Structure 1
Amino acid sequence: MRFSATVALAVTKALYIGFALAAPTANAPTVTLDQGTFQGATDGTINSFLGIPFAKPPVGDLRFRLPVANDPYNGTQTVTSFGAACPQQSINLPLPDGIVTDAIDFIVNDVYNIITPSSEDCLNLNVWVPAGLKAGTKLPVVAWIFGGGFEIGAPNIYDGGVVVSRSIALGEPIIYVSMNYRVSAFGFLPGQQVKDAGVGNLGLQDQRQALRWIQKYIGAFGGDPTKVTIWGESAGAISVSLHMLANGGNTEGLFRGAFMESGSPIPVGDITNGQKYYDALVSGTGCSGASDTLQCLRQVSYTKLKAAVDASPGIFSPQSLSLAWLPRADGNFLTANPQAMVSQGSVATVPFVTGDCDDEGTLFALSSLNVTNQAALKTYLKTFFLPTATDADVNKLLSVYPDDITQGSPFDTGILNALTPEFKRVAAILGDLVFQAPRRYFLQQRGGKQNAWAFLSKRLKLIPFLGSLHASDLLNVYTAGDLTDYVIHFVNYLDPNGNSGSSWPKYDPSSSSPKLMTFLDGLIPRTISADTYRKDAMDFVTTLSLSNPM
Structure 2
Amino acid sequence: MLLTIGVLLAVSTTATLGIPLAGSPTVRLDNAIVTGLGAGSVSKFLGIPFAQPPKGDRRFRLPVAVPPYEGTLSATKYGPACPQQTPSADSGSPTVDVAGSPLSPDQIDGALKISRLQATDALESDEDCLSINVIKPAANISTQVLLPVLVWIYGGAFEFGDTVSYDDTGVRLVKRSLELGQPLIYVSMNYRVSAWGFLPGAEVKKAGLGNLGLHDQREALLWVQKYIGAFGGDKTKVTLWGQSAGAISVSLHMLTNGGITNGLFRGGFMQSGAPIPIGDISDGQKYYDALVADTGCSKTIDTLECLRGVSSDALQAAVDKSPNVLSYQSLSLAWVPRADGVFLADNPLKLVQEGKVADIPFVTGNVDDEGTAFAFSSLNVTNDAQFREYIKTNFLPKAPDSELAPLWSAYPDVPRAGSPFGTGLLWDIGQYKRIAAFQGDSVFQAPRRFFLQQRSGKQKTWSYLSKRSKYFPLALVGSSHGSDLKIDLLDDNIVRFTSTLNPNNGTGVVWPQYTPASPQLLTFPTTIFGSPSITLDNYRADGLKLLAQLGLKYPN
Tell me the TM-score normalised to structure 1 length: 0.91
Alpha-carbon offset, residue 162 of structure 1: 0.6
1:332 aligns with 2:342: yes
- C-alpha separation between the residues in 1 aligned to 2:446 and 2:263? 29
- C-alpha separation between the residues in 2 aligned to 1:517 and 1:138? 31
1:213 aligns with 2:223: yes
Q: Which residue of 2 aligns with 1:162?
A: 172
User: Aligned in 2, Cα 1:51/1:296: closer, same or farther, shift over 3 Å?
Assistant: same
Given that residues 443 and 507 in structure 1 are in contact (C-alpha distance below 8 angstroms), is that contact kept between their aligned partners in structure 2?
Answer: yes
The amino acid that maps onto 1:505 is P
Give the one of 398, 408, 425 matched to 2:434. 425
Give the one of 140, 147, 156 matched to 2:155. 147
Alpha-carbon offset, residue 548 of structure 1: 0.8
Q: Which residue of 2 aligns with 1:11?
A: none
Given that residues 476 and 484 in structure 1 are in contact (C-alpha distance below 8 angstroms), is that contact kept between their aligned partners in structure 2?
Answer: no
Given that residues 509 and 533 in structure 2 are in contact (C-alpha distance below 8 angstroms), is that contact kept between their aligned partners in structure 1?
Answer: no
Q: Which residue of 2 aligns with 1:549?
A: 555
- C-alpha separation between the residues in 1 aligned to 2:117 and 2:470? 28
- C-alpha separation between the residues in 1 aligned to 2:465 and 2:379? 27
Q: Which residue of 1 aligns with 2:129?
A: 122
- C-alpha separation between the residues in 2 aligned to 1:540 and 1:41? 51
Give the one of 524, 528, 532 matched to 2:538. 532
Alpha-carbon offset, residue 144 of structure 1: 0.1
The runs of 5 or more residues in structure 2 that have no matched partner are 1-16, 91-95
Given that residues 87 and 119 in structure 2 are in contact (C-alpha distance below 8 angstroms), is that contact kept between their aligned partners in structure 1?
Answer: no
Give the one of 467, 485, 493 matched to 1:474. 485
Q: Which residue of 2 aligns with 1:27?
A: 23
The runs of 5 or more residues in structure 1 that have no matched partner are 1-20
Alpha-carbon offset, residue 544 of structure 1: 1.2
- C-alpha separation between the residues in 2 aligned to 1:542 and 1:532? 14
1:516 aligns with 2:521: yes
Given that residues 418 and 465 in structure 1 are in contact (C-alpha distance below 8 angstroms), is that contact kept between their aligned partners in structure 2?
Answer: no
SS of equivalent to 1:154: coil
Q: Which residue of 2 aligns with 1:455?
A: 464
1:406 aligns with 2:410: no
User: Aligned in 2, Cα 1:248/1:45: closer, same or farther, shift over 3 Å?
Assistant: same
In angstroms, what is the RMSD of aligned CA positions?
2.0
What do the CA deviations read for 1:274-311 (whole angstroms, capped 9, x no partner)? 00000000000000011110011111111111110000
The amino acid that maps onto 1:181 is Y
What do the CA deviations read for 1:398-417 (whole angstroms, capped 9, x no partner)? 11111110111000011112
Alpha-carbon offset, residue 396 of structure 1: 1.3
Given that residues 149 and 233 in structure 2 are in contact (C-alpha distance below 8 angstroms), is that contact kept between their aligned partners in structure 1?
Answer: yes
Alpha-carbon offset, residue 393 of structure 1: 2.1
Given that residues 492 and 505 in structure 2 are in contact (C-alpha distance below 8 angstroms), is that contact kept between their aligned partners in structure 1?
Answer: no
- C-alpha separation between the residues in 1 aligned to 2:421 and 2:394? 24
User: Aligned in 2, Cα 1:404/1:319: closer, same or farther, shift over 3 Å?
Assistant: same
What do the CA deviations read for 1:70-127 (whole angstroms, capped 9, x no partner)? 11111112111110000000111377466469x98xx99999342x211000000110
User: Aligned in 2, Cα 1:111/1:214: closer, same or farther, shift over 3 Å?
Assistant: closer
Given that residues 89 and 327 in structure 2 are in contact (C-alpha distance below 8 angstroms), is that contact kept between their aligned partners in structure 1?
Answer: yes
Alpha-carbon offset, residue 498 of structure 1: 5.3
Alpha-carbon offset, residue 135 of structure 1: 9.9
User: Aligned in 2, Cα 1:312/1:394: closer, same or farther, shift over 3 Å?
Assistant: same
- C-alpha separation between the residues in 2 aligned to 1:293 and 1:458? 48
SS of equivalent to 2:188: strand
Match runs of 1:72-91 below 5 Å: 72-91=68-87
User: Aligned in 2, Cα 1:354/1:109: closer, same or farther, shift over 3 Å?
Assistant: closer
Q: Which residue of 2 aligns with 1:10?
A: none
Give the one of 222, 225, 234 matched to 2:244. 234
User: Aligned in 2, Cα 1:111/1:191: closer, same or farther, shift over 3 Å?
Assistant: closer
- C-alpha separation between the residues in 1 aligned to 2:187 and 2:44? 10
SS of equivalent to 2:375: helix
Identity of aligned residues (%): 56
User: Aligned in 2, Cα 1:176/1:110: closer, same or farther, shift over 3 Å?
Assistant: closer
What do the CA deviations read for 1:480-511 (whole angstroms, capped 9, x no partner)? x4x10000000000000155575100001233
Give the one of 442, 452, 455 matched to 1:446. 455
- C-alpha separation between the residues in 1 aligned to 2:161 and 2:361? 27
* More off after superposition, 449-458 vs 134-143: 134-143
Q: Which residue of 1 aligns with 2:10?
A: none
- C-alpha separation between the residues in 2 aligned to 1:546 and 1:254? 28
The amino acid that maps onto 2:410 is V
- C-alpha separation between the residues in 2 aligned to 1:221 and 1:527? 39
Q: Which residue of 1 aligns with 2:389?
A: 379
Give the one of 425, 435, 456 matched to 2:444. 435
Give the one of 27, 43, 52 matched to 2:48. 52
* More off after superposition, 456-465 vs 348-357: 456-465
SS of equivalent to 1:112: coil
- C-alpha separation between the residues in 1 aligned to 2:24 and 2:534? 46
- C-alpha separation between the residues in 2 aligned to 1:449 and 1:176? 29
Q: Which residue of 1 aligns with 2:14?
A: none
- C-alpha separation between the residues in 2 aligned to 1:359 and 1:277? 29
The amino acid that maps onto 2:255 is L
- C-alpha separation between the residues in 2 aligned to 1:356 and 1:310? 30
Alpha-carbon offset, residue 134 of structure 1: 7.0
Match runs of 1:273-312 below 5 Å: 273-312=283-322
Match runs of 1:497-516 below 5 Å: 497=504, 499-500=506-507, 502-511=509-518, 514-516=519-521
What do the CA deviations read for 1:512-532 (whole angstroms, capped 9, x no partner)? xx1001112323231111100
Q: Which residue of 2 aligns with 1:15?
A: none
- C-alpha separation between the residues in 2 aligned to 1:409 and 1:542? 19
1:176 aligns with 2:186: yes
Given that residues 134 and 222 in structure 1 are in contact (C-alpha distance below 8 angstroms), is that contact kept between their aligned partners in structure 2?
Answer: no
- C-alpha separation between the residues in 2 aligned to 1:408 and 1:182? 35
- C-alpha separation between the residues in 2 aligned to 1:229 and 1:109? 26
* More off after superposition, 325-334 vs 540-549: 540-549
SS of equivalent to 1:450: coil
User: Aligned in 2, Cα 1:431/1:23: closer, same or farther, shift over 3 Å?
Assistant: farther
The amino acid that maps onto 2:555 is P
Given that residues 359 and 409 in structure 1 are in contact (C-alpha distance below 8 angstroms), is that contact kept between their aligned partners in structure 2?
Answer: yes
SS of equivalent to 2:134: strand
- C-alpha separation between the residues in 2 aligned to 1:486 and 1:548? 36
The amino acid that maps onto 1:269 is G
Alpha-carbon offset, residue 25 of structure 1: 3.0
Given that residues 134 and 221 in structure 1 are in contact (C-alpha distance below 8 angstroms), is that contact kept between their aligned partners in structure 2?
Answer: no
SS of equivalent to 2:136: strand
The size of the alignment, in residue pairs, is 519
User: Aligned in 2, Cα 1:134/1:207: closer, same or farther, shift over 3 Å?
Assistant: farther
SS of equivalent to 2:522: strand
* More off after superposition, 489-498 vs 23-32: 23-32
Q: Which residue of 1 aligns with 2:88?
A: 92
Q: Which residue of 1 aligns with 2:260?
A: 250
- C-alpha separation between the residues in 2 aligned to 1:337 and 1:134? 46
